[in-house]
Structure formats: C-alpha cells, structure tokens
Structure 1
Amino acid sequence: MLERLLADAVVVLHLAFVAFALAGGLLVLRWRWVALLHLPALAWAAFVEFTGRICPLTPLENALRAAAGTAAYQGGFVEHYLLPVLYPAELTREVQLLLGAGLLAFNVAVYAAVAWQPRRRRLD
C-alpha cells in the first residue's frame, strides 16, 4: 500500500516537474528569481527529449509499482501519461524531437519577453 502511494506521489511530482519545465518561464515574468530554478529544469527536460533518454523518476515509479505488486510500464513518463492525451499514436523519435523543439521555442519566447520587460521599481 505504501509503495503504491509513493508511486502515485512520484507521478504527481513528475507531472509537476514537466509542467514547470514547460511553463515555469511564465513565473519568471513575475518573479525573476524563479529563473534560477527554471533554467536547470528546462535544460534537463530538453536534454531528456533530445537524447531520447528516460527521466530517472520513471524507473523509480516502476520500481515502486513492482514492489506494490502492480504492473509497471515500458517507455517514459511522457509516452505513458501525456502522449495518450495529446497524441493517439506512439511516441516516435521525430515526435520527441518536435516536443523538445516546442519546449525550447516556447521558453525562448517567454525569456525574450522577460528580457524586454522593463524592470519594475520596488515600492517600499
């Protein structure tokens, strides 16, 4: 029971990480210090997408599910949880490269907006 709860917690953490890597740059528009957290997350997510690797959270979740006596899955987090929602076909290398390019393009646009945004003065 505990292993299944931990596996579910890993899924929630993984989904939160993916969302932060994708859209965390939007938080930088409000709080510039978030870039210190977001840029490494973005770099890791892009690395995983462009190299075709599997995030270490996926094997951790699978190990917890196996320990709980439930079925693990093959492939990565994006392929298992997100692509069935976004795309009906299997994750191909080409789709993975497009996802990585989209991730970077969106965040380049967000950081360009951050760079061109006038600095606000603190009113104390």
Structure 2
Amino acid sequence: MLTEFLSLLCLGLSLGFEDEKKNEMLPKPTLSALPSNMVEHRGNVSLRCQSHFQNVTFMLGKLQDSGYRQEQRSTGHEAEFLLTHLEPKDAGMYFCAYKTMVSQEWSEESEHLWLQVKDNDDGRGAPAAKKCKII
C-alpha cells in the first residue's frame, strides 16, 4: 500500500513538473546571416537560428510581412533557412523563434537581423524600395 502511494506521489510530482515547464518562458534564440547580412542582387544567404534546446521546431519571420513564415524541425540546436535569388524587396528585418515538444508555445523572438540586398544600379545595400534622386 505504501509503495503504491509513493509511486502515485512521484507520478503526480513529475506530471506537475511537466506542467510547470510548459508555462516557463523559453529564452531567446540567436539569429545570424551566413556568410553576411549584405547580399548581392539575386544572391543567396542562410539565416541560422540557434536555441539552447534540441528537438525543436524553428520559425523564421519577417517584421515587415506578417504573412512571411517558414518553419523547420531540427533534432539539434539550430536550423538554417536558405534564402535564394534575393531581390531588393527581400531586404528587411528578420527574426526567429522556436517551440519545444513539451511547451508547444513559441519562444521569445530573437533580436532582429537587418538583411540588405544590393541593387543593380549602385551596388550598395538598398532598402526594400528603390532610391529616388532629389533634384
């Protein structure tokens, strides 16, 4: 009888611990651009999101476009999102987040990363809109 009680008590405590873990706020991931956050017109870049946890689902988003979202499952601590054939309209602020199997809630967003895409005219990093000459 005592053994059954202790087993149930341990089970209840471990289930309670899992519930507590679900409500914890997950720490921010980090986001970096490889090889650089300055990309040639029609070039490629990998945006790498890293977390403190393994076996998570990563999400990449764009601040200026609420409809932009990529998700990727990873067994490790990181995921790489390959962006290809970039145009000036692809420039902007990107961020990532992740969720664990236990939490099912997204972590805090990473710090925002400014991705610049060089335009054809002057080779410098251009924002999402074309530059205008002031006369």
Common topology (TM > 0.5): no
**Structure with a larger share of its residues in strand:** 2
Larger Rg: 2
Task: Report the TM-score when normalising by structure 1.
Answer: 0.29
Which one has more relative contact order, counting CA pairs under 8 Å at least 6 apart? 1
Q: Which is helix-richer, 1 or 2?
A: 1
